[in-house]
Amino acid sequence: MDESDNPVVDTEDASRFEPILINGKDGMLVMKHDVVTIVWEMDSLLFVLQARTSMDMAIRIAEGVRYIK
């Protein structure tokens, strides 16, 4: 992802902030309080997932996203 294209995600006091791969695409994972945020690029589009679930479940949801043209 080009840094100028990154959405603003609140990482202050996050318990986890790390790069992640979603279906082979670079992304970012942030855990803050009980919210997991995953941001990744797919087919030149930027996707943001926010969920009040486990990190593993959020990753599974993100990996299940398919872009249909």
Spatial distance between the Cα atoms of 34 and 19, rounded to a whole number of angstroms: 19
pLDDT at 5: 61
Quick one: CA dihedral 38, 60, 19, 33, positive or negative?
positive
Q: What angle do CA 4, 53, 30 make, to 5 degrees?
A: 25
State the residue range of the domain holding 50.
Answer: 3-63
- 66 Cβ partners below 8 Å, 6+ apart? none
Whether residue 68 lies inside any domain: the answer is: no
Whether residue 47 lies inside any domain: the answer is: yes
Exposure on the CB side of residue 19, measured as CA atoms within 13 A: 6
Whether residue 69 lies inside any domain: the answer is: no
pLDDT one digit per residue (tens) for the chain, 69 residues: 455 566 778 878 888 899 999 999 999 999 999 999 999 999 889 999 999 999 999 999 999 999 888
Total count of domains within the chain: 1
Q: Find the farthest-apart pair of alpha carbons in the chain and give their distance in angstroms, rounded.
A: 38
